A and B are shown apart, each in its own frame.
Chain A
């Protein structure tokens, strides 16, 4: 299994298309050199001939499912090859079994979850019996459970069936344990091609390009005295390596000190259980209190006993939740847990079957999206779909042409141009900007409307580490300037959710956990029950400390500093200790995606 990674636009997908023989036959371009499979040049083959050697699974499963049912989709390729019916049936049965889709063979493709769609796309590609399978960002739209389903399938294929698997992916933490080789690309070139441990031994090289590396690898580099063996690629490997060493007592001491400080802090009355930064104490869960949530006064957004039904299905079930002024809340949960439904209600998308949603105490009227968009800015995951004008300036002034803006907006059009870095690009077409630039433009255009709350639906999906860092910096700058309340819906636990002050976990349409990120992510078994994996750093602390881990640190740099400070080294010196090869955590990668 080969992992190909690199910044967006570095040529990964183009390489994948060339590997599959689709360049130049189907994608316009000039191909120099040769792509061969066992000595056969692929670029000279017709696409269906090449696809029987190297199969490709594209990024968006919605665009590659052509048929209406799962088995029709899988059979499509063998049928085109005019194979006899028994051979087609054998292939379909095998593909469905190996991808775990056997029980859904007659299901309609439009009703599948993201993970199921991706597995169906893999099965359909496998039905061509390729010797190598190339997957372009197969995890980008998946929740942690869906990602594990797909990775499990790929692992089985590589291990049991001997299929070569090439994965192009930004989510290196999840793929790292299974990769045999890691290929790093930069500006169209392969700059590194080594087994994983050797590939990540020189982290300065990765930092120089701006590509993220697995958290456990970062931690091992930061704490070379604790990780004396080989580089750990997963939490399990890290636990096995340090469970007998000095790291466990050091982390235990650090955890005790944090707990003591919290009690002292609470005793002084600094936190009374209702704080703009988040609730104090343990995260509320349904098992603790029957109804989750806490009530900041005054709440800027509130859901009061809200339920939403779609025909016979209850998507949201009696949710009571409040978000205070200036808070940064991340809403997490598996696909179908009700996150998007719940946030959509804040702008009038959808109608609650019970309860009500309020903005600053005023009920939000279902269907009145235009009215509520002035109060709550919702940035859709597909930010491209939110751009309608021919120029950047046109986009930024779009809202003011169709509605009256407040006389003293936090961010006017000229302010937004400067703040978001569009000076000199005012007359540029939005479609000439990079993907990150278009997302920034959509966000800027929403903020010019001077909303009270910013709701972000999966804003970092499919973004590389550099872009994700840039987006987080931008978000923090926006909050610092405007004091906006921010609600993010995300599957990106490691990158985005762990940076929020407060986490709300949804499961089966209900709030299952609600509290500070450091405490919610300590409850790994409850998170796992609702289909969410805590960040690797949090899982490591929970594995090492057991029930004592009630409040976990969420970044590698924090964890390393805390451990070192209780190992006789002052906090903050983590970066100065000699590491394996390069010697320190570069500021650009430590504690960031």
Chain B
């Protein structure tokens, strides 16, 4: 029965479409627009991580990103663990953990799954499940363990940078970033651009939520069909597509008004008046900071040296 063409086709379609169907559902269920708004917001707390030298925090994701690129998979596992450990130190709020998990696991699952389907080793290929001709015309002859492991490795490499960047965004006031950029001799506009983005992304998401709410209040049906109401899904997708067009004008008008005021406020507060800026913050270098710098330098230096001697180097 299970080896019949029909059963194999059904199983194959489930394998191919399971992840693309699960991810949007998980996003809507656990994150949503509201969760996305909280994703990059700073959480003011009194942890050692919050007190670290902002320059060290800016360098940390860069260094970890470099390590994730140049090291082989075995060493990458250590780097990956090192990128996860500080989260236990930070202890973010429960809602943020939920959002972060979906946003981290989602892409990892996507990489794992897509590489399992489409990354093919040299023949002979050992499939975990080989697809029948009724679906293999889509481009994948089946799902392989080799591809899945490869996908996992690539996902982990990306996650190292994502995880460390998120960690820093959650634990660093954007003013500290600006301070760090200035110490790195970068123009103040870089810090301001980051400030504006981090401050107004949540606002933009809030406004979008409000407009979506408003359009439903005006009688526009955005209610999702149940998963089994297959005949209603196409109509729902059309309605969502049309909605995007409808909400563009109020979103655009609101955003333009906001940015005009913001530009005037920035001007009135003297932004751009001087090439250099002062700072409220004083970040005297502490022993912990020095330790952090040493660890980063040693890690990156060691990796480069080992890489030079083809130890733990990534195979290209």
Q: Which residues of A contact B (CB under 8 A)?
A: 20, 22, 25-27, 46-48, 50-51, 55-56, 58, 60, 62-69, 71-72, 75-85, 87-89, 92, 106-110, 124-125, 128, 311, 347, 349, 367-371, 373-374, 377-378, 380, 382, 384-388, 398-399, 402-403, 431, 445-446, 449
Contact = CB atoms under 8 A, between A and B. Distances in A.
B210 A382 contact: yes
Interface string B208-226: 0011011111111111000
A370 B220 contact: yes
Contacts of B231: none
A88 B199 contact: no
A63 B266 CA distance: 11
A64 B262 contact: yes
B250 A385 contact: yes
B268 A68 contact: no
Interface stretch (B56-64, B133-141, B253-261): B253-261
Given A51-B269, A398-B218, A85 B282 contact: yes
B174 interface: yes
Nearest to A130: B268
Interface string B272-284: 1110111111100
B268 A311 contact: no
A78 B278 contact: yes
Contacts of A349: 213
Contacts of B276: 82
A402 B219 contact: yes
Contact of B223 (A81, A87, A89, A370): A370
Contacts of B271: 48, 76, 80
B252 to A, nearest CB: 11
B216 A77 contact: no
B44 A108 contact: yes
B196 to A, nearest CB: 7
Contacts of B257: 63
B265 A58 contact: yes
B74 interface: no
B102 interface: no
A124 B269 contact: yes
B254 A75 contact: no
B46 to A, nearest CB: 9
B280 A92 contact: yes
B42 A68 contact: yes
A369 B265 contact: no
B214 A386 contact: yes
A79 B219 contact: no
B272 A20 contact: no
Contact of A51 (B213, B270, B272): B270
Contact of A66 (B44, B95, B199): B199
Given A79-B278, A384-B254, 20 more contacts: A47-B268, A51-B268, A66-B196, A66-B199, A68-B42, A68-B175, A68-B195, A78-B280, A80-B273, A81-B270, A82-B278, A85-B279, A107-B44, A108-B44, A110-B41, A125-B269, A368-B223, A386-B217, A398-B220, A403-B219
A374 B220 CA distance: 10
B280 A85 contact: yes
B269 A68 contact: no
A446 B257 CA distance: 25
Contacts of A25: 267
A160 to B, nearest CB: 24
Given A82-B274, A388-B250, A64 B265 contact: yes
Given A68-B173, A71-B280, A77 B269 contact: yes
Nearest to A399: B219
B14 interface: no
B199 A369 contact: no
A287 B282 CA distance: 53
A77 B267 contact: no
B214 A48 contact: no
A72 B269 contact: no
Contacts of A27: 264
23 contacts: A48-B267, A48-B273, A50-B268, A63-B258, A66-B262, A76-B175, A77-B269, A78-B278, A79-B278, A107-B44, A109-B199, A128-B268, A369-B217, A369-B223, A373-B216, A373-B217, A384-B253, A385-B214, A386-B215, A386-B217, A398-B218, A402-B219, A403-B219
Contacts of B247: 388
B249 A388 contact: yes
B246 interface: yes
Given A65-B199, A72-B174, A446 B273 contact: no
B128 interface: no
B268 A55 contact: yes
Contacts of B220: 370, 398, 402
A124 B280 CA distance: 13
Contacts of A347: 217
Contacts of B188: 80
B261 A58 contact: yes
Given A69-B44, A75-B175, A380 B217 contact: yes
A60 B265 CA distance: 12
With most chain A CB atoms within 10 A of its CB, the pick from B222, B253, B266, B278 is B278
A65 B261 CA distance: 10
Contact of A79 (B95, B246, B263, B280): B280
A76 B196 CA distance: 13
B278 A85 contact: yes
Contacts of A382: 210, 214
Contacts of B213: 349, 369, 380
B139 to A, nearest CB: 38
Contacts of B280: 71-72, 75, 78-79, 85, 88-89, 92
A108 B269 contact: no
A20 B207 CA distance: 29
Interface centre among B216, B246, B247 (most CB of A within 10 A): B216
Contacts of A128: 268-270
A445 B274 contact: no
B266 A66 contact: yes
B198 interface: yes
B151 interface: no
Contacts of A65: 199
Contacts of A92: 280
Contacts of B263: 26
Contact of B279 (A64, A79, A445): A79
A78 B273 CA distance: 11
Pairs of residues from A and B, 6 with the lowest C-beta to C-beta distance, nearest first? A48-B270, A80-B270, A72-B175, A75-B280, A399-B219, A77-B269
A125 B264 CA distance: 12
Interface string B164-179: 0000000001110000
Contacts of B195: 66-68
A82 B278 CA distance: 4
Interface centre among B216, B218, B250, B265 (most CB of A within 10 A): B218
Contacts of B175: 67-69, 72, 75-76
Contacts of B215: 386, 388
B220 to A, nearest CB: 5
B54 interface: no
A81 B269 CA distance: 8
A27 B274 CA distance: 22
A380 B210 contact: yes
